Structure 1
């Protein structure tokens, strides 16, 4: 297939010379423009692989056209023509984004060589874009068509192919864990291990031994050598979830991993090299924690090489319909229930909520809707949402007339069932199904909460 080149010069003889020089030697077609304005018009109508542009032209000069191309056609390769010896202009062109420059008058062999190189770059960019498109994020990871989510998808595709550390930021429930899995799934490490570590749920002393491993005798009950999660993730990816909640001691040791790519197991005198891609996440304001001397600044800058911010659900309201339908289909299958629809009244109400718990909160509400729904449709009476703008986790309430006809014990049990499902479901949703954290929020011990969950058949897996 022929390459498509646009030659831009106010001297018509020069554009014709470029056409006569290049077309017989390179598999290409050279179109001509005699001003920057004419070139802009042609670029709107046709796709090109390369633009060759003179710097000095009346009206808009070559720098102006270069700036227009960089803004509107960022992948388009540009080579600038400049008067012989005008190195200053050539350097300026490169700084502004030109791929190369050719002095006039040019030697035939030199221009053919440089244009071939420029076209190779164009073909590489085009192929890379095609491969990235083939590897688009699957719906099983992140879902969304809104502009904020499209930016996230673009950033994930951009960082996935490298081994650079990524820091995912955003409120709880925005999908940072799914973004991490997407990056791994699109990376060259996709066939290797992905190990998620929920940092806040593991006490600091245990977290250190879990991450780095230990030698026999390193502490009481260390009866054998044990590899840590970094060694288990060797050649793969480790995801350090909510890294903003770890203490200074672990921060220092993780800084070493980021800098030196090596770990030191507890009780060992030797370091071990690891080949691990690190992705971290936080819902904390790390700069504020740095100011409060709670987070190491050097560690932050090592983590924050390629930051990606996950938008809150309130900033991507247009995604709610496709998100809701996906979540309902997913949980109907998981709960082995008939496919369930969402009524228009419910969808309208979902679109009006502030969603402080983001996608996780939406998911929890819909799971409850599936469980309470009748005739395979989620209606307003099936979800614990009443008035838009009010706190999302209320209780379903009851019809006093229908409750009044029941015996006392039966009515009490019914209300207890609804109360516990709504209240504990909300707590589990906020902690991503973590029973220990939910128990702390309820001000009770784990065993007591587990007994209540068992009595009322509340499955924590539904909230993870």
Structure 2
């Protein structure tokens, strides 16, 4: 669903308000249906669900808040923008808590209403209805809608209730720790601790003490007894992050603890038993590490009981819109600032980038853009990168030399100018020559309206050309 194809339903008993909102939204290319009451809306032909509701609070018969509750039982994913002439703060709080997207007072500001509707449509398009798989996720921190996301959630749901060891594999920044937390939260051990050990950050001489603890006087600096991470995680989950970084000479002691569920503190003869569920994560190919002699094969098989692979962000581009929306809301809340606007053009820009730093990099980019936006439109400063294969443009080009000694393809200056002119005409015709404003030509192209106007004049373009 593209935003220009979206259906917006306006429900208000004031005919002048219905007319004004309808005209405003249709001027943006949106399809609009109007209703004078909630009952009229509920009895409509339900062939196509609306992408958004613009809803009055005070209506004859069923009120706006009552309709909101009714729709939430049926279709909780329809965003609602409330309009009211009363400005009742307690009422707006109830509406927002019940899931309203925005609450505006009459007389409304056209730009505010357009922004709210456009953003709510992005919510509808990019979030979509929650699936059963998503609802099984208690934390809500693992975000997505695509095939890779759904497959991962299903695997988590299968393994979490068991006590099996899990090995999470994936590139740096893909969210392996989030997966580990989700497994713990969905397990029978959720009331017990989740203890994380970053295996890459422990000095070699302290590994044994960190894992198993020590007694006073066991070595220089051991001034008192200390509990290790295995013991601290008793009854819960031990998350061994970056497991591939453990020196091979120390891996045998870890293997024994995993196999026998027992260990000794450094300097102590007493054997202690422990009940822990182990979840490990790595950005390395442990099979290759075994082949290279840097990782014990028996430890690998002990860890690899239930492998989970977290895909890199470049392989799940369909999840980028929802992830971006999630981070915009989260970061704005953390910063206690006005939430900036995520545009369709901005989302496309994010999807065209390859994200070598994965989700961690995406969050950093959005946080930087949020700081610079100051509550306005988000603009993303990303390195120039080749577009993904699925959206790579097919351009005619010239080639010099024989096929055997082919040089890189290129275009002549007249060809570049012709392509740029054609591209600009396509965008202008797409929006009906709406140069500025939300979802206007300048926003779609990612440039300033003044720059676009200058280019139009320079190229001699008009509606008739």
**What interval of TM-score do these two structures reach, taking the shorter chain for normalisation?**
0.5 to 0.7
Q: How many residue pairs end up in the alignment?
A: 257
Aligned to 1:368: 368
- Any conservation in 2 of the 1:237–1:278 contact (CA below 8 Å)? yes
Aligned to 1:316: 316
Over 3 Å counting, the alpha-carbon distance change for 1:375 and 1:133 in structure 2 is closer
Shift of the alpha carbon at 1:367?
A: 0.8
Counterpart CA distance in 2 for 1:282 and 1:264 is 26
Calculate the aligned-residue CA RMSD, in Å: 1.8
Aligned to 2:267: 267
Over 3 Å counting, the alpha-carbon distance change for 1:193 and 1:375 in structure 2 is closer
Counterpart CA distance in 2 for 1:343 and 1:261 is 53
Counterpart CA distance in 1 for 2:287 and 2:328 is 38
Aligned to 2:355: 355
SS at match of 2:214: coil
Segments of 5+ residues of structure 2 without an aligned counterpart are: 1-131, 389-465
Task: Please list, as runs of the form range in 1=range in 2, the aligned pairs for 1:33-52 lying within 5 A after superposition.
Answer: none
Counterpart CA distance in 2 for 1:141 and 1:165 is 22
SS at match of 2:238: strand
SS at match of 2:279: strand
Aligned to 2:410: none
Aligned to 1:182: 182
Aligned to 1:152: 152
Counterpart CA distance in 1 for 2:283 and 2:207 is 19
Shift of the alpha carbon at 1:387?
A: 5.0
Over 3 Å counting, the alpha-carbon distance change for 1:135 and 1:341 in structure 2 is closer
Shift of the alpha carbon at 1:264?
A: 1.5
Shift of the alpha carbon at 1:389?
A: 4.9
Shift of the alpha carbon at 1:144?
A: 1.1
Normalized per residue, the structure richer in helix is 1
Segments of 5+ residues of structure 1 without an aligned counterpart are: 1-131, 391-464
Over 3 Å counting, the alpha-carbon distance change for 1:261 and 1:271 in structure 2 is same
SS at match of 2:346: helix
* Offset from partner CA, 1:428-457 (integer Å, 9 cap, x none): xxxxxxxxxxxxxxxxxxxxxxxxxxxxxx
Task: Please list, as runs of the form range in 1=range in 2, the aligned pairs for 1:89-100 lying within 5 A after superposition.
Answer: none
Task: Please list, as runs of the form range in 1=range in 2, the aligned pairs for 1:4-83 lying within 5 A after superposition.
Answer: none
Shift of the alpha carbon at 1:343?
A: 2.4
* Offset from partner CA, 1:106-162 (integer Å, 9 cap, x none): xxxxxxxxxxxxxxxxxxxxxxxxxx9797113533111111111111110100011
The structure with the larger Rg is 1
Task: Please list, as runs of the form range in 1=range in 2, the aligned pairs for 1:190-209 lying within 5 A after superposition.
Answer: 190-209=190-209
Task: Please list, as runs of the form range in 1=range in 2, the aligned pairs for 1:228-247 lying within 5 A after superposition.
Answer: 228-247=228-247
Aligned to 2:215: 215
Shift of the alpha carbon at 1:388?
A: 4.8
- Any conservation in 1 of the 2:138–2:185 contact (CA below 8 Å)? no
Shift of the alpha carbon at 1:345?
A: 2.2
* Offset from partner CA, 1:281-310 (integer Å, 9 cap, x none): 001011111111100000000000000001
Over 3 Å counting, the alpha-carbon distance change for 1:135 and 1:188 in structure 2 is farther
- Any conservation in 1 of the 2:241–2:280 contact (CA below 8 Å)? yes
* Offset from partner CA, 1:270-289 (integer Å, 9 cap, x none): 22100010000001011111
SS at match of 1:377: coil
Shift of the alpha carbon at 1:386?
A: 4.4
Aligned to 2:294: 294
* Offset from partner CA, 1:191-227 (integer Å, 9 cap, x none): 1101111110121222321111001111001111111
What TM-score, normalized to structure 1?
A: 0.53
- Any conservation in 2 of the 1:264–1:270 contact (CA below 8 Å)? yes
